[in-house]
Structure 1
Amino acid sequence: MKWKSKLASRKFWALVAGVATSICVLVGADGDVTTKITGLIGTVGTVVVYMLAEAHVDGKSAAGEQKRKQ
């Protein structure tokens, strides 16, 4: 499994948020707790996707620099 591409997927983070929301409902958490947990997952997902996208762009930029030096 390619974890890097999975972590960069918005669909994956939507799945994680959906599962967490379902678990909150299952254990009887109130709406406020469920909203906070779902928001936290969305925030973490956004940060992870941003970091991986920036790393990809930086890697491509560095590869381009290497080619120009040769």
Structure 2
Amino acid sequence: MKEINWKRKLTSRKLWAATASFVSMMIVAIGGTESTATQVTALIMAGASVMSYIIGEGLTDSANIETSVDTIAESADNEQ
């Protein structure tokens, strides 16, 4: 069975747009106002943007740390 890449899924704009659309349509379907649906959609998209930024920065930082560790290890090997 293939493993799911949750980092990629959670940073997908398509996922968050679909989620926001579904939630806003459900609000309207159960009798909520369009104004409420719009506000909830805006909150979902804002939250998704923040979460995507945090995950993206975390991945970038971890890649830089791995590169730095590799560079330090290579330098130490060359000195010996």
Q: TM-score, normalised by structure 2?
A: 0.82
Contiguous gaps of at least 5 residues in structure 2 = 74-80
Deviation at 1:38? 0.3
Candidates 57, 62, 65, aligned match of 1:54: 57
Give the drift of 1:26: 0.8
Distance in 2, Cα, partners of 1:26 & 1:56: 39
CA distance in 2, matches of 1:3, 1:48: 13
Give every structure 1 segment of 4 or more consecutive aligned residues whose post-TM-superposition deviation is greater than 6 Å.
none
Distance of 2:6 and 2:41 partners within structure 1? 21
Q: How far is the alpha carbon of 1:40 from its aligned partner?
A: 0.4
Could you say which residue in structure 1 is the equivalent of 2:28? 25
For 1:67, give the aligned amino acid: D
Pick the structure with greater CA Rg.
2
Structure 1 residue 44, shift from structure 2 partner:
0.5
Give the secondary-structure state (helix, strand or coil) at the position aligned to 1:55: helix
Aligned-residue sequence identity (percent) comes to 29
Partners in 2 of 1:35 and 1:15 — Cα distance?
14
AA at the equivalent of 1:45? A
The aligned counterpart of 1:65 is 68
Counterpart of 2:15 (choices 12, 15, 33) is 12
